[in-house]
Amino acid sequence: MNNPDKFDYICGVLFAKLYENFPVPIKTADIEEFDNPEEYKFRMHSFRWLKENGLIEGNLVSDGSMNNVRATLKGLTILKVTPESLNQKKSVGEALMDAAKIKAPDLIAEAAKSIFLRF
């Protein structure tokens, strides 16, 4: 998987969990899909990018995870949008949650791409 696809997947999994748990903060270390220790640096840089661009808030941890993570107003607003590109009547957040439940990496990444079309 190339870096943009990995990034979309990580964002998709993260935003599915954030949307499902909002407004309760989460720990990314508790997300099963993020168990691969070899990917911790890439995840850490992905989380940092999302935080620096105002989509999430939380505390970065040296092991590549985050604590007390939740979507910001900007992030939540994007998750509630129903884009035409998804060809359905679900919001981005709902599409991400559905894809995460069936553990479909391609669907997760595809739904996550629609987040960044808003910029």
Average pLDDT over residues 9-18: 94
Give the pLDDT confidence score for residue 45 in this predicted structure: 95
| CA–CA distance, 22 with 2 (Å, rounded to integer) | 30
Query: Hey, how many other C-beta atoms are within 10 angstroms of the C-beta on 103?
Result: 11
**For residue 18, what are the domain limits?**
3-116
CATH of the domain at 31: 1.10.10
As a dihedral over the C-alpha atoms of residue 58, residue 61, residue 67, residue 71, rounded to 10 degrees, the angle is 30
Q: Which helix (H) or strand (E) holds 10?
A: helix 3-21
Give the tens place of pLDDT for each residue, 22-61.
Answer: 999 999 999 999 988 888 899 999 999 999 999 999 999 9
Does the model's pTM come out above 0.85? no
Give the pLDDT confidence score for residue 98 in this predicted structure: 80
How does DSSP classify residue 26?
B
Q: Which residues on adjacent β-strands are paired with residue 60?
A: 66
Count structural domains, the chain: 1
Q: List, in sequence order, every beta strand (DSSP E) within 24-85.
A: 56-60, 66-71
